[in-house]
Amino acid sequence: MLPTDDVLLAIREPLTTSLRRGTPLVWASGDGRERRALLGWGERFRVTARGPERFAALSAAFREHVAATRADGGPAPLAFVTVTFSPDSATDSVLVVPDVVGRWHSGQLELPAAGVPEPSEPAEFEELDFRAGSLTREQYRRAVARAVGLIADGEVEKIVLARDLEAVATHPIDLPAVLARLQYANPESWTFHVDGMFGSSPELLAAVHGRSVYSRVLAGSAPVTGRPDADAAAASDLMGSGKDHAEHAYAARSVADRLASVAEVRAGEPEVLRLPTIMHLSTEVTGTLTQDLSALDVAALVHPSAAVCGTPTERARDLIAELEGLDRGRYAGPVGWVDAEGNGQFAIALRSGQLAADGCSVRLFAGGGIVDGSIPNEELAETAQKFLPMYQALSPVARP
């Protein structure tokens, strides 16, 4: 559920037009009449943080801002947040309270205040060059092979390894167009944009509304071809795969166990979630909080789950840094929003990329969970499948 405000202005327009109003902060999901978007323009308040206490620093700064705003009689603030995967990252974690927050639903943009930019014209789309990032394909295969050996030696049970690509243009990328394409092509996911970090993630790390808490855990995957018979067979194989169920169990248990320390928790049974280019094993974890925590606090508690790190967590995180040899930045970290009451939603920043400061390139990431029995070539193919949503959104043939 997205937050509500007293509506002072309502504009009938498609979401593609709203996204062109100054490239807003974005949180969007759904399809048809259920499509909704939370949008933010300008910056009323901004705070950055690094290191192990980055979550606590952002949360404390936002609470202070909320208290000061209430003391001044101002409207209850809402913040958009993107946090790095690792406490050792050289990238800032960022919390932004926009000047104006709008809600888009059923063809109408509702605003608590005027002053939103006029829509811009679409730019002429340029074909991007895709280049190898910090890890070549062969280096990634070798990293997977080393991880499998470490698992066999009992060093770790599961480790998630990622690789990156660079998408490069000669002119600034038309980000509003890319965001529109991502949202329309991936209605089962959460499309986001905060401080140049953008994507469309199918995995909801933590959602809080009042005392209710929810998480959708994904791990274990198979490609979607668009051929009904082949996809049905792949879904059946995925449900019957011991390797994929083992990988998924680590991820679901890591979330449920951590939530159980602050909530009465119920975990469902794994099901197949089919997305446009890939399918995953999915488990829903629900519960009732027993402590007064915000959505950002809960995200801090659950991150990093085994779905993006591994098991056991600390050892897996150390091995990720060693085997990948790259700074993930905000990839695989929590991204979402939180309001003054603590309600909010945070996805894991997957199927995503970080826009460069000049707007002319995007660093893309994709990863996979390595467990006993993982095969390097198959894991490489899985990362290629996971690059597809961003690749297609950046393609000149894509349309919202």
CA dist., res. 351 & res. 390, Å (int): 6
Residue 145 CB neighbours (<10 A):
15
pLDDT of residue 395: 82
* Burial (CB count within 10 angstroms: exposed 0-12, middle 13-18, buried 19+), residue 137: middle
Instruction: Give the model confidence (pLDDT) of 133-154 as tens digits.
Output: 999 999 999 999 999 999 999 9
Average pLDDT over residues 183-187: 93
pLDDT of residue 125: 77
Phi, psi values for residue 100, rounded to 5°: -130, 130
Average pLDDT over residues 241-253: 85
Q: Which two tokens stand for residue 330?
A: 């905000």
CA dist., res. 270 & res. 218, Å (int): 9
Mean pLDDT of the chain: 92
- Look at residue 344 and tell me whether its pLDDT is greater than 80: yes
Confidence band of 1 (pLDDT split at 50, 70, 90): very low
Query: Distance of alpha carbon 322 from its chain centroid, rounded?
Result: 24
Q: pTM (2 decimals)?
A: 0.93
Q: Which two tokens stand for residue 71?
A: 């003391």
CA dist., res. 251 & res. 159, Å (int): 11
- Look at residue 51 and tell me whether its pLDDT is greater than 60: yes
Give the fold, CATH level 3, of 126-393.
Anthranilate synthase (3.60.120)
- Which residue among 121, 155, 166, 203 is the active-site one? 203
Confidence band of 185 (pLDDT split at 50, 70, 90): very high
Confidence band of 160 (pLDDT split at 50, 70, 90): very high
Q: What does 230-280 look like in DSSP terms, one character per residue? A: HHHHHHHHHHH-HHHHHHHHHHHHHHHHHHTTTEEEEE---EEEE-SSEEE
- Which residue among 158, 247, 324, 386 is the active-site one? 158
* Own/partner long-range contacts of 91-94 (Cβ < 8 Å, ≥24 apart): 91/50, 91/327, 91/329, 91/330, 91/354, 92/48, 92/49, 92/50, 93/48, 93/49, 93/50, 93/54, 93/55, 93/58, 93/330, 93/333, 94/46, 94/47, 94/48, 94/194, 94/195
Clarify whether 203 is annotated catalytic: yes
Q: Which residue has the tokens 């606590």?
A: 56
- Identify any residues that bridge with 353 across adjacent strands, giving them in sequence order: 198, 364
Instruction: Give the model confidence (pLDDT) of 77-100 as tens digits.
Output: 999 999 999 999 999 999 999 999
pLDDT of residue 379: 95
Give the residue, 34 or 195, on which the prediction is more confident.
Answer: 195
Residue type for position 116: V
The single-letter DSSP state of residue 17 is: H
What is the pairing mode between strands 263-267 and 204-209? Answer: unpaired
Clarify whether 269 is annotated catalytic: no
Instruction: Say what percent of the chain tops pLDDT 70.
Output: 97
- Look at residue 49 and tell me whether its pLDDT is greater than 90: yes
pLDDT of residue 3: 55
CA dist., res. 2 & res. 27, Å (int): 9
pLDDT of residue 398: 52
Instruction: Give the model confidence (pLDDT) of 189-203 as tens digits.
Output: 999 999 999 999 999
Q: Hey, where are the domains in the chain? A: 126-393
